[in-house]
Structure 1
């Protein structure tokens, strides 16, 4: 007999609307608090958004690169935000070790001065005297500002595309609920980064876009079951149909979120400093996205209401003649 892991029973009868004003009010409070935090405390923007200089170093050594030693050597220079990563390339020799060092823009300077570069090189040569700088590249404030707006527009474009898809796939009430849940997830995640002043860079934008996809996937599963049950239980009150739909998909929701969190928590603990902020954003986003799928999206649909007497049409009929759809 096959073994099946069940985190929740197959059939549950939880009343997800029992404390709807408390759960929804908590969500509204979290969104408003996040906005206040961003306005008052701001974000700890990384080099991508503040500008800075990337130094590419190279050394001839067979031993693995000790990133921690590099960081400790540079720390006394007090250069602010510094990101150190090793570059891997199959074309490199076995004894060719290449490292990039990204240093934030210094006060009043678009790029670090030759004097600062010399200090960095001297500090690194205390780790390995054969280290040399082979290239430098600077990102000015103008380019950084463009990156900020590009990041904002990418998130807004993703939200808009999801709104259109849900509207066409279901009804406009569903799209409003889904987008409200997504705005909730993104805003609360950004608020957490503002509260703890975690570094906010392009990798976090990637995490936000991933959170959007994960959250909407959970929401669509609930909405799809809700649409089926609206047809099946035409006389049942809308609130009860929604409760039934969430309970029927609860096992899938918990299993998906649980297994995803297991992998993310392992990465959070063992992944190292380079990806820690990205993984934290993903972990928090999965938790918040699951919460919003259950307690935010459907609640907004209930508040707006649905016209259950309207004849349900195939979404394809909005764009094609009925004869064309029938012929397919």
Structure 2
């Protein structure tokens, strides 16, 4: 699609010339989200979440080498996996800077046989001395503190969101709709992490908090337009649902463009960290950003605003606006059967049945005059030109010649 086409589409969506019915089809969006939520919940319950050693506890080996590259990291991953150490199954191996490689496993007792076997495989593969490998034990208490702090930060964030939207928009139902959209994004993102099997690390938690802010930002922009369109609803010829749907269409192009621009660098980071670097903290945070930003855009368009309209559908002013709109539609249908005469139509001396049945007041309001006769030279729409009785002649009352009635083209 060319730049001019996008600009034209944006203008037509903003003015209402074109419109996508997001609000009217909200049950379709609810059903789609419900299916996705059920799928991700089943994925979490069956496969579980792959928590990193920062949350579960484990052992971290840091190998200092002359040049840390991905090939050496892959060789170490293979060597560690081939040992008989059960705790080393599924070990995480990643580069850290240009001269270090980090190997993370489940908890291995210091000085045990498993510890010695693993150190032997590492030193042999990396061709380094035993002193070049440092060992660090990570207890589960550290992960518990990280999880508790993340939960506290999430709780403070949600409370702040509710209060901010309530104060700014003076509408608690907007707060409810925004929080539901946020929870929708979090659950889907967690489910994707569980299904894909990526490890949850502190970087993942940082990504979660980031996507909450992004999703909220897009939702607030749409809600601000909803507030603008529904201000003084009693004096407008729109229902609350149509005004809210117009707000989504007016911000649609902006939301899509912002999301694409935001997702492009995240996709690049995800590709590099997954394909070229293998396991790394960049992979953890880039996946959560990608999924969260995409789902956040979806929820701000298809969930938050339609849910807001649903919550407000029983309010008195909203119901009054719908009654006024229904009355206007009924009044418009009153004259739907009145024919409109056009140039070139044959004039008839007989009144159509529709005109005979309609009252004189109704016809006058519709712009149709009830004539007794018409001629074939009738001009204008919806009128019958009376036949000319006689030619206009001079009148002596004015004391001067009077002009004759002629067409403009024949006047001199």
Task: Trace 1:119-198 onto structure 2 (pairs within 5 A).
Answer: 119-131=117-129, 132-133=131-132, 135-170=134-169, 171-198=171-198
Q: Match of 2:312?
A: 305
Aligned partner of residue 9 in structure 1, secondary structure: helix
How far off its partner does 1:39 sit? 3.4
Aligned partner of residue 260 in structure 1, secondary structure: helix
Aligned partner of residue 278 in structure 1, secondary structure: helix
Q: Match of 1:264?
A: 266
1:8–1:251 CA contact under 8 A, matched in 2: no
Q: Match of 2:338?
A: none
1:46–1:81 CA contact under 8 A, matched in 2: no
Aligned partner of residue 200 in structure 1, secondary structure: coil
> What is the CA–CA distance in structure 1 between the aligned matches of 2:141 and 2:283, rounded to whole Å?
28
> What is the CA–CA distance in structure 2 between the aligned matches of 1:265 and 1:29, rounded to whole Å?
26
Match of 1:294 among 294, 301, 313: 301
Assess, with a 3 A threshold, how the Cα gap between structure 1 residues 123 and 196 changes in structure 2: closer, same or farther: same
Aligned partner of residue 59 in structure 2, secondary structure: strand
Aligned partner of residue 148 in structure 1, secondary structure: helix
Is there any run of 5+ residues in structure 2 with no aligned partner, and where? 14-18, 319-412
How far off its partner does 1:191 sit? 1.4
Cα deviations by residue, 1:307-328 (Å, 9 ceiling, x for unpaired) = 6869xxxxxxxxxxxxxxxxxx
Q: Within the alignment, does 1:276 sit opposite 2:278 as a pair?
A: no
Cα deviations by residue, 1:139-195 (Å, 9 ceiling, x for unpaired) = 223333333333333323322222222112212111100000000000111112223
> What is the CA–CA distance in structure 1 between the aligned matches of 2:155 and 2:210, rounded to whole Å?
13
CA RMSD, 1 decimal: 2.7
Cα deviations by residue, 1:96-135 (Å, 9 ceiling, x for unpaired) = 93333222225xxxx4554333223221223332343453
Aligned partner of residue 105 in structure 1, secondary structure: coil
> What is the CA–CA distance in structure 1 between the aligned matches of 2:291 and 2:92, rounded to whole Å?
23
Q: Match of 1:15?
A: 21
Cα deviations by residue, 1:189-224 (Å, 9 ceiling, x for unpaired) = 111222333322222212211110110011011011
Assess, with a 3 A threshold, how the Cα gap between structure 1 residues 155 and 8 changes in structure 2: closer, same or farther: farther
Q: TM-score normalised to the size of structure 2?
A: 0.65
How far off its partner does 1:229 sit? 1.4
> What is the CA–CA distance in structure 2 between the aligned matches of 1:7 and 1:147, rounded to whole Å?
46
Task: Trace 1:88-127 onto structure 2 (pairs within 5 A).
Answer: 88=97, 97-105=99-107, 111=109, 113-127=111-125
Match of 2:58 among 33, 52, 55: 52
> What is the CA–CA distance in structure 1 between the aligned matches of 2:26 and 2:215, rounded to whole Å?
20
Assess, with a 3 A threshold, how the Cα gap between structure 1 residues 126 and 134 changes in structure 2: closer, same or farther: closer
Q: Match of 1:253?
A: 255
Assess, with a 3 A threshold, how the Cα gap between structure 1 residues 268 and 36 changes in structure 2: closer, same or farther: same
Assess, with a 3 A threshold, how the Cα gap between structure 1 residues 278 and 147 changes in structure 2: closer, same or farther: same
Cα deviations by residue, 1:25-77 (Å, 9 ceiling, x for unpaired) = 22233334433433343212121211101223323x3x444322322232212
Paired residue total: 295
Q: Match of 1:27?
A: 33
Assess, with a 3 A threshold, how the Cα gap between structure 1 residues 149 and 7 changes in structure 2: closer, same or farther: farther
